[in-house]
Amino acid sequence: MKTITDISKYINKLSKKDKELFYRIYNFTEDFGTLKIPLEMREWTLKTFGDVKSVEKQKIIRIDNNVMFETALFNELRTKRPIDMKTTEDVEKIIKEKIGDPFCKPLTATPKDSFGRIKGKKCITASNIAKYDAMHGLVIFNEHNPLKFSLEDIKDYIDTTDKWIKKAHKENPDRKFPFITWNCLWKAGASILHGHIQILIAKNKHYQGIECLRKKSEEYHEKFKSDYFEDLFAIHKSLGLGVKTKNCKILVHLTPRKEKEVIIISRELKDVSEQLHSVLKAYKEMGVESFNIGIYLSPIDKSWKMPVITRIVDRGNLFEKTADFGGTEVFAATSVIGFDPYKVIEQLKKEL
């Protein structure tokens, strides 16, 4: 199986055209971190990492997206590093213990929006009682357990979300910049375990990450007379990290925000459901229990247009006391990655 640590080999094997496209957006460096293990640590090192040699000379891959100013550092050895305070608590048990929370009785225990509620087959909307922004709604799942979902469930969640956006905009025409997010369980920032999606609609301009993506992709188009998102997918596909389906292009990101990031590029929001379900099934098979999903949408008034961009990231083991974001991510805007993207694409292909 391919591995990110051998990416230089895959880039060198690209056609001249594909190689030029790669370097138009990306750059990469291969480096080695060296150290010496004292005799007293050798037994522990062998037990923890499998061998001493790979620890004393660690290959580090740095990949930079020079268009979007994204950087990722890959060192597979980091996935084997010891983590303190790891437990084996039963996730299902914890989720069941929370049955009866406010989202289990949304009609009486959650506020509704000024324009009322939208009821889907598998969910119902509510207004967020402690809002991020002035227009902030919820899609609350009928299913309490956020890790239990079928394709039909996700289709209904997305359809109901779309209806809420249209209704909210009709009632408030000046609010036209929608963003959708799903934070699954506490590692992903969910304060209530019951499954739910959050929807924001900004007023004067889109949220910064989306504005940046839009601006940089437009600059790219002006400079190269080429579509940034098409080229991004083409690069990933040429390196074995992209898959095209009927309505979507899916890639396992070379410069992920965090572990196992998958990006789905589609024309319409309705096209996302089936592929999102496949990604989440692949996540389950890889042991992921906490994740963030963000869906970038163009302005409702169509003042500018870009594809629907759905981003999914793993937020790590629920019972590790360490956070997955440290100072390097927060202040240097550089992602430290342990999980190999090629392992993600292999599992994803099984689910598509």
DSSP string computed for 256-321: -SSTT-EEEEESSGGGHHHHHHHHHHHHHHTT---EEEEEE---TT-SS---EEEEEEE---TT-S
Say whether both 245 and 336 belong to one domain.
yes
pLDDT of residue 86: 41
Looking at residue 324, which CATH number applies to its domain?
Answer: 3.30.428.10
The mean pLDDT of 252-276, rounded to a whole number, is: 98
Residue 327 has pLDDT above 50, yes or no: yes
Say whether both 14 and 66 belong to one domain.
yes
Whether 14 is in a domain gets the answer yes
Q: Which residues pair with 58 in a beta bridge?
A: 33
Nearest-angstrom CA–CA distance, 242 and 233: 6
In the chain, the largest separation of any two C-alpha atoms, in whole Å, equals 70
The dihedrals phi and psi of 63, each to the nearest 5 degrees, come to -120, 130
pLDDT of residue 84: 47
Our measurement of the distance from residue 235's CA atom to the centroid of its chain's CA atoms, rounded to an integer in Å, reads 19
Whether 93 is in a domain gets the answer no
The mean pLDDT of 283-306, rounded to a whole number, is: 96
Say whether both 225 and 133 belong to one domain.
no
Helix/strand/coil for 14:
coil
Q: Which of 148, 169, 202 is the C-terminal boundary of a domain?
A: 202
Say whether both 105 and 71 belong to one domain.
no
Which spans in the chain are helix H?
7-12, 16-25, 42-49, 53-56, 91-97, 106-109, 151-171, 208-224, 228-238, 272-285, 327-332, 341-351
The mean pLDDT of 49-56, rounded to a whole number, is: 93
Q: Which residue range forms the structural domain that includes residue 125?
A: 98-202
Residue 212 has pLDDT above 80, yes or no: yes
Nearest-angstrom CA–CA distance, 109 and 128: 12
Whether 294 is in a domain gets the answer yes
Question: Which is it for the CA torsion 303, 236, 26, 337, positive or negative?
Answer: positive
Q: Which of 169, 202, 235 is the C-terminal boundary of a domain?
A: 202
Nearest-angstrom CA–CA distance, 342 and 252: 8
Our measurement of the distance from residue 301's CA atom to the centroid of its chain's CA atoms, rounded to an integer in Å, reads 26
Nearest-angstrom CA–CA distance, 274 and 250: 12
Return mean pLDDT, the chain: 95
**Which pTM was predicted?**
0.95
Say whether both 158 and 216 belong to one domain.
no
HSE toward the beta carbon, residue 16, CA cutoff 13 A? 0
Q: Which of 138, 139, 211, 217 is nearest to 177 (CA)?
A: 211
Question: Which is it for the CA torsion 15, 18, 19, 20, positive or negative?
Answer: positive
Nearest-angstrom CA–CA distance, 253 and 188: 19
Q: Which residues pair with 59 in a beta bridge?
A: 32
Say whether both 229 and 311 belong to one domain.
yes
pLDDT of residue 145: 97
Q: H helices then E strands: how many in the chain?
A: 12, 13
Q: Which of 139, 169, 202 is the C-terminal boundary of a domain?
A: 202
Whether 159 is in a domain gets the answer yes
Say whether both 111 and 188 belong to one domain.
yes
Nearest-angstrom CA–CA distance, 191 and 184: 10
Separation in Å, CA 170 to CA 162, 174, 301: 12, 9, 11
Q: What is the enclosing helix (H) or strand (E) of 199? A: strand 196-202
Whether 149 is in a domain gets the answer yes
Say whether both 78 and 13 belong to one domain.
yes
Say whether both 117 and 138 belong to one domain.
yes
155-202, pLDDT tens digit by residue? Answer: 999 999 999 999 999 999 999 999 999 999 999 999 999 999 999 999
Say whether both 102 and 84 belong to one domain.
no
Nearest-angstrom CA–CA distance, 122 and 271: 18
Residues 239 and 10: beta-carbon distance below 8 Å: yes
Residues 92 and 144: beta-carbon distance below 8 Å: no
The mean pLDDT of 119-142, rounded to a whole number, is: 98
Beta carbons within 8 Å of 207's beta carbon, 6+ residues apart: 177, 179, 200
Residues 291 and 333: beta-carbon distance below 8 Å: no
Q: Which of 201, 182, 221, 203 is nearest to 305 (CA)?
A: 221
Residue 223 has pLDDT above 80, yes or no: yes
pLDDT band at 308 (very low <50, low <70, confident <90, very high): very high
C-alpha R_g of the chain: 21
Six-digit token string for 197: 């999606």
76-129, pLDDT tens digit by residue? Answer: 787 666 544 444 468 999 999 999 999 999 999 999 999 999 999 999 999 999
Tally of domains within the chain:
2
Say whether both 276 and 314 belong to one domain.
yes
Six-digit token string for 76: 């597979």
- Cα angle 168, 149, 167; round to 5: 10
Say whether both 192 and 215 belong to one domain.
no
